[in-house]
Structure 1
Amino acid sequence: MNFHALLADINAIVWGPITLCLLVGTGLYLTVRLKLIQVFKLPMALGLLFKPASGKGDLSSFAALCTALSATIGTGNIVGVATAIKIGGPGALFWMWLAAFFGMATKYAECMLAVKYRTTDAKGNIAGGPMYYIERGLGLKWLAKIFAIFGVGVAFFGIGTFAQVNAISDAMTIAFEIPSWVTAVVLTLMVAAVTLGGVKRIANVAQKLVPTMALGYVLACMWVLFTFSDQILPAFELVLHSAFTPISAAGGFLGATVAQALQIGIARGVFSNESGLGSAPIAAAAAKTNEPVEQGLVSMTGTFFDTILICTMTGLVLIITGVWSGDTAGAAMTSAAFAASGSEVIGQYVVTIALVCFAFTTILGWHYYGERCWYYLTGSRLGDNGIKIYQFTFLGLIAGGAFIHLDLIWMLADTVNGLMAIPNLIALIGLRHVILKETRKYFAKQQALANQSTLTQQG
């Protein structure tokens, strides 16, 4: 058995019924017990994005969200959606929506816990995330270490390096005929220039780049949707139909079962928005706030922006233009979809620039996530030397990521993502009573303040 076949078998186990039930089941449980918090508290969460920073922390709530979004808005929004629909058909988009809807409750819970259980490390920096709420909340340090090991694995071999670098390299070659080795060298130098400056430099770049690139990409998608406006309703019908019905082969599409659509849709949904993965809580823990619930609400909007908005835009563009059943795949498939609008500029250049920006910021965010996991494992023993080992290893993997085959990259990324999610989901289940208690206490306090304000005005 070769390595590719072995990895395929491991991936099938990792993303088997147990993990899928854990992901969806945890989100479903939290959705019900938190009384559809992702629906009824979304307006409040969006309002909190603009609340002035106050409290202990390294970053504003908005900066923490942008740092988290820098890691989540990446190739999953362009290449990941294309891969999901190519393998599972249009129905995969429905399962991405489902994963995102329940994932919003999961993202709220894990980011709220990150602030509640955060601490300060030996260097005076805020330290938080699943490692800390597993250790300090559940008292299971061994499980916290397992999470941190998988976290470093995702940073090194999953979302953080290979998938992003390969996507950037392919896009630059297709659009500008730039050799892969040139892209690898330039990208490595750019990543080093930002990441070696620490979390505040990463956050500063993220605050400027993430909103701009997201808005630009959404506008480009809206242009294509406007051009094919008569196909939007049929596209939604196709998504809903194929989510529950096998799709036969057509053109370059090999056909897909409902199980394939479900599995690839949820896997790519998690790859895209990272809800339940345990990554976003690491950034959320650094937020300047004294209210864990408020940061949980702010962080919850990340899944909304990432999957409900941006992934949906990409998916609809792929479906209404018909390229999903063609012979292209990955970034080339998405570029072909935008080119179908009749504008070569949008198809070739705007998509390429968006992909490069998305992937670049994802690399930055995951460098930070992996570094915090690495520090949790080695900080007390290796100190600054340990961080240097991590940084140079990460940069080395960035340099080599452009030369690895696409299929192997996505399979490896899916595998380590699933392994990272399992200990985090176990922690969320174990701390479910804390999540409910903190949430109820916060909203009871807010209601009391509102009642007091009303009485004061009436008096």
Structure 2
Amino acid sequence: MNSTLADIGSVIWGPFVLIPLLLGTGLFLTIRLRALQFRKLGPALRLGLIRRSDDGGAGDITQYQALTTALAATVGVGNIVGVATAISLGGPGALFWMWVTALVGMASKYSEAFLGVRYRVTDARGEQSGGPQYYLHRGFSELFGKTGGRVGLVLSIVFAVFAVLASFGIGNMTQGNAVAAQLDNSFGVPVVASGVILFVLTGAVLLGGIKAIGRVTAGFVPLMIVLYLLGGMVVLVLNADAIPGAFGQIFTQAFTGTSAVGGFAGAAIMYAIQMGVARGIFSNESGMGSAAIAAAAAKTTHPTRQGLVSMTQTFIDTIIVVTFTGLVIVTSGVWERGSDTAGTMTADAFAEAMPYGDKLVAVAIAFFAFSTILGWSYYGERCVERLVGAGGVIPYRMVFTCVVFVGAVTELEVVWNFADVMNGLMALPNLIGLLVLSGLIVRETRYYLDNDPTLTATAAQVEEFMGDRPR
């Protein structure tokens, strides 16, 4: 089974399926939206991180809480171990392709968050629910009638099924295992004890639903990111003389590949691209559709505003956090030791530069992984609700919480390969939807930004000018 899943994953994440589709969709949307992610990044960061809320908008949590929930799901093991894996296999050039994936992926993240709010529904409990499991069906129906609606319905169900399966893999068992392994290796905490602690903490938060998740992630996600970045900054200051050379390696080897150095098995340019794109998406999830589920719960006066806030999540995750990790690894030189040490590569890089650096990385992985568990639990339950109704939410939370313990105490090589496959399969219907619905996204985005270019309009002003929009 493990071998079969690995083979399937290599095809899905290979050079002929998701890599061109993800990059192509992001580039297509970037062009159609006139490089929105570059033009509006400043106002989007101010709205999401400084203003934090959109007074007068419908929703369950603030825009800031929706952003931190999405960050909780993405700033995880991929930002530490995933980056090390990409560099160990694809060389420093893989980091360049992670940047490219993020920059064009910001347009994809904007678009899916826009659609998540645009087509969200109010569920039986009075909460907002949205994401590809809704907008694929409702958007296709609106634009193409019954026939398009049937196609969209199939795509929405396929997405929901794969998202639920992915939530138990990449969003649960692998994260719990990462926490337990790090605490055991660095502090001698028994894996069973870690499993019990994760079980209790996860269950306590999930009982409160999205509002509790939003409050928890809004509190500790920014803190854990800042502490990790401060540690990375100390390492980079100590390795300052190696930074220019590191950038030289990153940009040069992105287009030349890496020849064999020491124990490192060389990689050609295509492998650098493949690892960079695959691990980049693993880290920031742009194009997968998952972040749209969190965006749909936000209090916002217009889909464009939340789309822009959600877009900053990819910027923070990859352009900032992943870059720090990558530079720490490359400046330290530990990447030359080869892929066999990828699991400890980031910790080794920190430890060589500062006392207890490996302990800092262990704590960071533990917090990052736990936050990912919380974010993905919400994604999974929203998709369960789409498939079987509100009655399936509580049983899902109970099973999800129990599986966290299982993941902490079990060897998971097959689960990692399973998670890669599920992530890829859930991205496919979403990318189709982004391409098909791109005309609507572009049209409504341009109209909104023509009337509110600085994102400062009040709820009353938004209602007024949106009421005059052409139908």
Q: So what's the TM-score if we normalise by structure 2?
A: 0.91
Q: How big is each residue's C-alpha offset from its partner over 1:86-114, in whole Å with a ceiling of 9 and x where there is no partner?
A: 12111111111110000001101110111
CA gap 1:245/1:231 in 2 versus in 1, 3 angstroms: same
Q: Which runs of 5+ in 1 are unaligned?
A: 454-459
Instruction: Pick the aligned partner of 1:14 from 12, 23, 48.
Output: 12
- 1:82-161 alignment runs, 5 A limit: 82-138=84-140, 139=149, 140-157=152-169, 159-161=170-172
CA contact (8 A) 1:79 1:167 kept: no
Q: Which runs of 5+ in 2 are unaligned?
A: 141-148, 462-471
- Residue 456 of structure 1 is matched in structure 2 by none
Taking the aligned partners of 1:61 and 1:371, their CA distance within structure 2 comes to 20
- Residue 236 of structure 1 is matched in structure 2 by 247
Q: How big is each residue's C-alpha offset from its partner over 1:124-168, in whole Å with a ceiling of 9 and x where there is no partner?
A: 1101111111010012111100000011011012x2012211211
Q: How big is each residue's C-alpha offset from its partner over 1:51-102, in whole Å with a ceiling of 9 and x where there is no partner?
A: 3332110011111101111101111111111111112111111111110000
Does structure 1 residue 363 correspond to structure 2 residue 365? no
Taking the aligned partners of 1:119 and 1:133, their CA distance within structure 2 comes to 10
- 1:27-426 alignment runs, 5 A limit: 27-49=26-48, 50-51=50-51, 52-54=53-55, 55-138=57-140, 139=149, 140-157=152-169, 159-326=170-337, 329-341=341-353, 343-345=354-356, 347-379=357-389, 383-384=390-391, 386-405=392-411, 407-426=413-432
Taking the aligned partners of 1:270 and 1:245, their CA distance within structure 2 comes to 22
SS at structure 1 position matched to 2:286: coil
CA contact (8 A) 1:199 1:368 kept: yes
- Residue 143 of structure 2 is matched in structure 1 by none
SS at structure 1 position matched to 2:440: helix
CA contact (8 A) 1:249 1:255 kept: yes
Q: So what's the TM-score if we normalise by structure 1?
A: 0.93
SS at structure 2 position matched to 1:224: helix
Taking the aligned partners of 1:448 and 1:186, their CA distance within structure 2 comes to 45
Q: Number of paired residues?
A: 443
CA gap 1:448/1:147 in 2 versus in 1, 3 angstroms: closer
The AA in structure 2 aligned to 1:14 is: I
Q: Report % sequence identity.
A: 49
SS at structure 2 position matched to 1:56: coil
- Residue 22 of structure 2 is matched in structure 1 by 23
Taking the aligned partners of 1:106 and 1:53, their CA distance within structure 2 comes to 22
SS at structure 2 position matched to 1:207: helix
Deviates more, 1:322-331 or 1:357-366: 322-331
Deviates more, 1:255-264 or 1:420-429: 255-264
CA contact (8 A) 2:93 2:257 kept: no
Deviation for aligned residue 1:411: 2.4
CA contact (8 A) 2:43 2:454 kept: no
SS at structure 2 position matched to 1:339: helix
Deviation for aligned residue 1:409: 3.9
Deviation for aligned residue 1:397: 2.1
Taking the aligned partners of 1:363 and 1:249, their CA distance within structure 2 comes to 37
- Residue 449 of structure 2 is matched in structure 1 by 443
SS at structure 2 position matched to 1:340: helix
SS at structure 1 position matched to 2:171: coil
